Structure 1
Amino acid sequence: MPTLGTTLFSLTPDWRSGAGTTRLLDRLAAAGCGPAIEVVGHQSWRGFPASSAEDERAFRDAVDRLGLQPAALGVYTDLHRHRGRSLTTDEALADLLPQLAAAVRLGFPLVRATLGMQPALLRRAAAAAERLGVVLTFELQGATSPDAPAVRDVVELQAASGTPFLGFTLDSSLTTPALPHALDTALTRRGLSADGVAAVHAAWAADGPVGPRIGRALTAVAGLPREPELATLAAGVLGRCGRSTPQDWAPVLPLVRHAHAKFWDPDVETVRAPHGAWLAALTEAGYDGALLSEWGGHELLDRDDADALAVTRAHHDLLSTLLAQRTAVPA
């Protein structure tokens, strides 16, 4: 059965207010939001992946002291950091390798990367991860489809190599019954009318690929004084609220090595049904890795609207209930 935990990304408001990594680990453990943890490398340590030996030792000491379990380290390769050109395969690999090595030093068995590596880079990155003994996963989230080329690339490489060090991080945002209420709040605060908010919802609910649906949403915010902010919000959230089902992903589930239970609204009851469905699908597929609470509402709401740790604690209670219900189901 999955092990519950939290990604420290959920506590982004605390990062912004100056809290350090070990302080956040203390708060998570005290709130009972472990034992599994995910950390985003570049968010957590200055100079990552060249973080100091002192910082790395403090992290490992805190994990041991608090009884936490490092589950995943978020790694990123910015392919477009140079104006006018993308990184070459050699440059991108050189950027990624120190992050994989940092994961090993910090005690993480797995890293979570962004889906979409080109095949040449994917092959070399997977081989490097296997040499280091760290599992390389790519996140499936939002409007990603099971037949997307980037998904097929990972599936085909894993099938050809048979390596256990390559797979996916599954994010429950693949199944989103409705856009979050928090988005309405964010759009309204930035000057979008009730009719405009309704138009964004209608665009998301329309038939067809996500790209044209996002385009329709952007027309609802066009010309407004805060159009850039509104457009970023609308496009970002619509692209991360998928409408597939666990059944759509059944062939891929054996390759899931890590999982996020993503939610946006402080009212955690809004995700009871989709999170229950994903938990059922994962356990039926034999998944026994980490299932991490991930609150994205801090991207849409002010800190005074909701306390990130309190919301996470409520979400943990919900996940615990759903997991207990799965355990009680007769075989």
Structure 2
Amino acid sequence: MVVLGTTLFSLTPDWRAGADLPGLLERVAAAGCGPAVEVVGHQAWRGFPAVDPREERAFRAAVDRLGLVPAALGVYTDLFRRPGRPMTDDEALDDVRPQLEAAARLGFGAVRATLGMGSALLRRVAAEAERLGVVLTFEVQGATPPDAPAVLEVAELQRSTGSPYLGLTLDSSLTTPALPDALGTALRRLGLDADGVAAVHAAWAQDGPAGARIGTALAALAGHPRREELSILVAGVLGRCGRSTPAAWADLLPLVRHAHAKFWDPDVETVRAPHGAWLAALGAAGYTGALLSEWGGHELLERADADAVAVTTAHVALLTELAAARTAVPA
């Protein structure tokens, strides 16, 4: 059975309001949103990957005291952070190695990275993760297809090496039956009228590749005085609302080492069917790792619209119900 919990990224409004890591861990535990937790390194610790030893000890003591499980640490390597040129492989490895080392010291069993490392760099980072005993995962989400070259490269490297320290983070946004209502709220707040919102939804519902559908949606914003803001929002959300099915990912599910149950709307019932389907698919593949609630609605709604902890609590309760229903069904 999967281990449920949440990513502290869901509590971004609380981070922005000045909450600290110990306080958020307390809230998560008190609300029953554990036991598994994911933390984004650069969000949680100022100066990450340099973490003060006292903060490291305080974090480990807190998760032990609260009965939480450090499931994954979000790490990032921006290959184009230096102006004018991408990082070399040596520079990128020097950038990510301290993040992997921090994950190991903090007690995380896995790290969650983004797809896109070149082949040589991928092999070097994977070897470094294995040396440290940390599982390196790459997130597949939204409109990412199962035959994307970056996905296949991770899969091929794992299969060729047989390493248990390399795999995928599966994000259930791969299956999004409808655009979130919260997107419409955000678009209207930026001044898009009802016809414009309907045009965005209609573009997303069209057949064809994700890029073409996003292009059609962006064209519907032409001439709007806040087109740039609207375009960033529309492209960002539509690119993270995929329309594939668990069956399309069946061959890759044995490589899943971490998983997110992504949702946007405060009404968690909107994801009952797709999240139930992913629980079933992961269970059939033998997955017994963490499945973490991830609320993205804070990117679209104002803090007064919904409390992140309350929404997460409702979603974890839904996941608990769905997981219990699966275990109650005779094989």
Shorter chain as denominator, the TM-score bin is over 0.9
Equivalent residue number for residue 164 of structure 1: 164
Q: Secondary structure at the match of 1:248?
A: helix
What 5-or-longer segments of structure 2 have no aligned partner? none
Shift of 1:188: 0.6
More off after superposition, 211-220 vs 26-35: 211-220
Q: In structure 2, the residue corresponding to 1:39 is in which secondary structure?
A: strand
Which position in structure 1 is the counterpart of 2:20?
Answer: 20
Name whichever of 214-223 and 241-250 sits farther off.
Answer: 214-223
Task: Supply the AA of the counterpart residue of 2:260.
Answer: H
Displacement of 1:223: 2.3
SS in 2 for 1:91: helix
In 1, Cα distance between equivalents of 2:218 and 2:26: 41
SS in 1 for 2:251: coil
SS at 2:144 equivalent: coil
Which whole-Å CA distance do the structure 2 matches of 1:222 and 1:119 have between them? 39
Q: For 1:79 and 1:213, how far apart are their aligned partners in 2?
A: 28
SS of 2:220's partner is helix
Residue 111 of structure 1: aligned partner: 111
Are 1:264 and 2:267 counterparts? no
Shift of 1:207: 1.3
What corresponds to 2:88 in structure 1? 88
Q: Cα distance, 1:122 vs. partner?
A: 0.5
Q: Which secondary structure does the structure 2 equivalent of 1:112 belong to?
A: strand
* Matched-pair identity in %: 76
CA distance in 2, matches of 1:158, 1:3: 23
AA partner of residue 41 (structure 2) = G
Partner deviation per Cα, 1:51-105 (whole Å, 9 max, x = no partner)? 1111111111110110100000000001111222111111111100000000000
Mapping for residues 66-145 of structure 1, pairs under 5 Å: 66-145=66-145
TM-score scaled by length of structure 2: 0.99
2:267 is matched by which residue type in structure 1? D
CA RMSD of aligned residues (A): 0.6
Tell me which residue corresponds to 1:2: 2
* In structure 2, distance between residues paired with 1:109 and 1:51: 18
Q: Which residue of 1 aligns with 2:215?
A: 215
TM-score (norm 1): 0.99
3-state SS, counterpart of residue 95 of structure 2:
helix
Give CA-to-partner distance per residue, 1:268-292, whole Å, 9 cap, x none.
0000000000000001110000010
Listed one character per residue, the Cα deviations across residues 133-181 of structure 1 (whole Å, up to 9, x for unaligned) are: 1000000100000100001100110111110100000000000000000
Encode CA deviations 1:284-310: one digit per residue, 9 max, x unaligned.
110000010000000000000000000
Residue 52 of structure 1 pairs with residue 40 of structure 2: no
* AA partner of residue 201 (structure 1): H
Separation in 2, partners of 1:328, 1:157: 37
Q: Distance in 2 between matches of 1:98 and 1:271?
A: 37
Shift of 1:190: 0.1
State the match for 1:202 in structure 2.
Answer: 202
Residue type of the alignment partner of 1:84: G
Query: What letter matches 1:254 in structure 2?
Result: P
Name the SS of the counterpart of 1:105 in structure 2: helix
Alignment of 1:217-232 (within 5 A): 217-232=217-232
SS of corresponding position for 2:4: strand
What stretches of structure 1 move > 2 A for 4+ residues in a row? none
What is the alpha-carbon distance in structure 2 between the residues aligned to residue 6 and residue 89 of structure 1?
33
Specify the SS of the correspondent of 2:18: coil
C-alpha distance in 2 between matches for 1:201 and 1:214: 10
Amino acid at match of 1:217: A
Instruction: Give how far 1:225 is off.
Output: 1.8
User: Which secondary structure state, in structure 2, belongs to the residue aligned with residue 250 of structure 1?
Assistant: helix
2:84 counterpart letter in structure 1: G
- What is the aligned partner in structure 2 of residue 177 from structure 1? 177
- Alignment match, 1:295: 295
Deviates more, 1:78-87 or 1:274-283: 78-87
Shift of 1:212: 1.4
Number of residue pairs matched by the alignment: 331
What residue in structure 2 maps to residue 155 of structure 1?
155
Q: In the alignment, does 2:226 pair up with 1:241? A: no
Counterparts of 1:199 and 1:169, CA distance in 2: 32
Query: d(CA) in 2 for partners of 1:92 and 1:213?
Result: 33
Q: Where does residue 32 of structure 1 map in the other structure?
A: 32
Residue equivalent to 1:251: 251
